[in-house]
Amino acid sequence: MFEKIKWSELSRREALKAGTAAAAVGAATPMMSGTAFAGTEEDSIVAAAKKAVPGGQDLTGLMWGLYSSGAKPVMDDFAGLTNIKISKLQDISAFEIPQRAMAEALSKSPEFDFFHVDTNMIPSLASAGLLEPLDDYMAAANFKVNAVGDFGKFLTYKGKTYGITTDGNVHTQFIRKDLFENPDERKAFADKHGKEMAWPETWEDDLELMKFFHRPEQDLWGSANLRDRGSSVAWWYMYLYSAGGFPFTDDMEPNIDNDAGEYAFKTYLDVKEVSHPEASGWGTPQMIPRIINGNAFSCQYWDGIIALAENPSKSKTSGMWSYGPVPGSKFSGKLIKRSISTPNVGVLVNRHSPRKEAMAYMALFMGTAENSARIVGDPANTFHDPWHVDHFKPGSLPEKVYTKGGMDAIKQNLQIVTPPIFLTGLLEFETELKRNLSEMYAGDKTAKKAASDTSEAWARSIRRIGKRRLRDELETYKSLFPSIDVPS
Partner 1 sequence: MTADSTLPSDMAPQLNSRAATRAQGVRRFKWTVLSPLIALMVFILLPAFVLQGYFSFFSFSIFDAGDDTSFLSYFRASEWVGLDLWKDALTDDKFGFAIIRSLLFAVGVTVGCFVIGFALALLMYRPFRGQGFYYIFFILPMLTVPIVIAYTGEMILYQNGPLNDIIGMVTGTRSDAQFLYKQEVALTTIAAMEIWNWTPFSFIIMMAGLASLPKEPQEAAQILGASKWRIFWEVQLPLLRPVILLALILRFLESMAEFPKTWGLLQGGPGSATETIPVYIFITAWQFFDISYGAVLSYLVLFMMMAIVMSAIWLLRREKKSLDAMYETKPQEG
- Catalog residues that contact partner 1 under the rule CB under 8 A: 99, 102-103, 105-106, 108, 124, 126-130, 228-230, 276-281, 286, 352, 424-425, 427-428, 431, 435, 438-439, 441-444, 461, 464-466, 469
Residue with Cβ nearer partner 1 (72 or 469)? 469
- 314 Cβ neighbours under 8 A, 6+ residues apart: 292, 308
Calpha distance 366→143 (Å, rounded): 11
Calpha distance 414→335 (Å, rounded): 17
Residue with Cβ nearer partner 1 (62 or 307)? 62
Residue with Cβ nearer partner 1 (382 or 455)? 455
Residue with Cβ nearer partner 1 (285 or 394)? 285
- 238 Cβ neighbours under 8 A, 6+ residues apart: 171, 300, 326, 338, 339, 340, 418
Closest approach of Cβ 128 to partner 1, in Å? 5
Residue with Cβ nearer partner 1 (328 or 420)? 420
- 188 Cβ neighbours under 8 A, 6+ residues apart: 212
Closest approach of Cβ 210 to partner 1, in Å? 20
Round the CA-based radius of gyration of the chain to a whole number and report it. Answer: 24
Q: Which of 381, 472, 461 minimizes the C-alpha distance to 63?
A: 381
Phi, psi of 88 (to 5 degrees): -150, 135
Residue with Cβ nearer partner 1 (194 or 443)? 443
Closest approach of Cβ 307 to partner 1, in Å? 26
Residue with Cβ nearer partner 1 (259 or 444)? 444
Closest approach of Cβ 465 to partner 1, in Å? 6
CA triplet 187, 193, 198: central angle to 5 degrees?
A: 70
Closest approach of Cβ 391 to partner 1, in Å? 34
Closest approach of Cβ 414 to partner 1, in Å? 29
- The continuous run of DSSP H or E covering 156 comes out as strand 156-157
Helix axes 369-376, 65-82, angle to 10 degrees: 150
Calpha distance 76→437 (Å, rounded): 43
Q: What residues pair up with 176 in beta bridges, in sequence order?
A: 321
Closest approach of Cβ 338 to partner 1, in Å? 25
Phi, psi of 479 (to 5 degrees): -70, -15
